[in-house]
Amino acid sequence: MTGLVGQRALVTGASTGIGLAIARAMLAAGATVGVHHRRSAEDMSDVLADMVQNHADAVVPLQADLTDPAAQDNLIGQFVETAGGIDILVNNAGGLYGYQDFRELTHDDWERTFALNVTAPAFLSRSAWPHMIAAGQGRIVNISTAAVGYAGSGRSLHYAASKAALEAVTRTLAKEGASHGILVNAVRCGVIDTDMHRRVDGYDEALWKDRLKLIPLGRPGQPADIAGMVLHLVGPAGNFITGQIMSVSGGE
């Protein structure tokens, strides 16, 4: 695939899982890709070495904690300084803090979850906006969750709520961007086989196996399934798609 040759794309949360799959797919399609990560450079060395080996100067590593307002304001500028502009923004970085009954949910866990899942994508989009307007086009894809559609559980109330807010941001930005050629969509991910569920305190393998039984296709999705939809939206096939919430969830 070479459908993104000449395009400059920033993917947040690209160190593992879905974000890494999206970044690799975009590199393979010919884009210059900003690979955002929160991990240390040392922890990222193997991932980045593999990317650089296969794609030479097309990789732009960017380290930042997107729960920090300063990082939310500065990340786009850092990418543009190196890449010369931004054509595509994929707001993939996300997660939840505090997987427990909502009656035990703390203000800090709520606020950090919203900072990562809603505030960062909104402010990164704001920062990318003038660059995309100047170029007369742009694509923004926000990574959401199928839990918005079925309400999630009492343990992940703040996660589902934050992603519902992200979908509202998506639709609003799509309306604002239409006259400027900026297309904004979201992808609702179903249960995807990544390490995310293993990193959440309170979530275990028994819960994971029980969750898989609810999927009509009977299995989890793979990061490449999400990457394929993102490439569809940001490539030539997505030229007439905006304001949409695309579900990749195995039938849920």
Write out the DSSP string of 69-133: HHHHHHHHHHHHHHHS--SEEEE-----S--S-GGG--HHHHHHHHIIIIIHHHHHHHHHHHHHH
Over residues 92-116, the mean pLDDT reads 92
Of 144, 122, 118, the closest CA to residue 246 belongs to 144
Q: How far apart are CA 244 and CA 186, in angstroms?
A: 6
Q: How far apart are CA 4 and CA 47, in angstroms?
A: 22
pLDDT digit string (tens) for 195-243?
Answer: 766 666 656 677 777 878 788 898 889 999 999 999 999 999 999 999 9
Averaged confidence pLDDT in the chain = 91
More confident site: 212 or 131: 131
pLDDT at 114: 97
pLDDT at 201: 62
Of 160, 137, 29, the closest CA to residue 11 belongs to 29
More confident site: 41 or 116: 116
pLDDT for residue 117 is more than 60: yes
Residue whose token pair is 């997660």: 95
Q: Catalytic residue among 97, 99, 150, 159, which?
A: 159
Of 72, 58, 61, the closest CA to residue 37 belongs to 61
Strands, sheet with 8-11, edge to edge from the N-terminal-most edge strand = 59-63, 32-37, 8-11, 88-91, 138-145, 182-189, 245-248
State what percent of residues in the chain have pLDDT above 90: 70
In which band, very low, low, confident or very high, does the pLDDT at 35 lie, cut at 50, 70 and 90? very high
Q: Are strands 32-37 and 59-63 parallel, antiparallel or unpaired?
A: parallel
pLDDT digit string (tens) for 54-94?
Answer: 787 899 999 999 999 999 999 999 999 999 999 999 999 99
The CATH H-level superfamily of 8-248 is NAD(P)-binding Rossmann-like Domain (3.40.50.720)
159 is catalytic: yes
Domain extents in the chain:
8-248
Of 121, 59, 68, 133, the closest CA to residue 92 belongs to 121
In which band, very low, low, confident or very high, does the pLDDT at 20 lie, cut at 50, 70 and 90? very high
CA dihedral 229, 231, 235, 241 (to 10 degrees): 30
Residue whose token pair is 């519902």: 164
State what percent of residues in the chain have pLDDT above 70: 96
Over residues 135-163, the mean pLDDT reads 92
**Are 195 and 17 a contacting pair, CB within 8 Å?**
yes
pLDDT at 61: 94
In which band, very low, low, confident or very high, does the pLDDT at 1 lie, cut at 50, 70 and 90? low
Q: How far apart are CA 187 and CA 181, in angstroms?
A: 20
pLDDT for residue 190 is more than 60: yes
Helix (H, G, I), strand (E, B) or coil at 235: coil
- DSSP, res 12: S
Nearest 5°: phi and psi at 134?
Answer: -60, -35
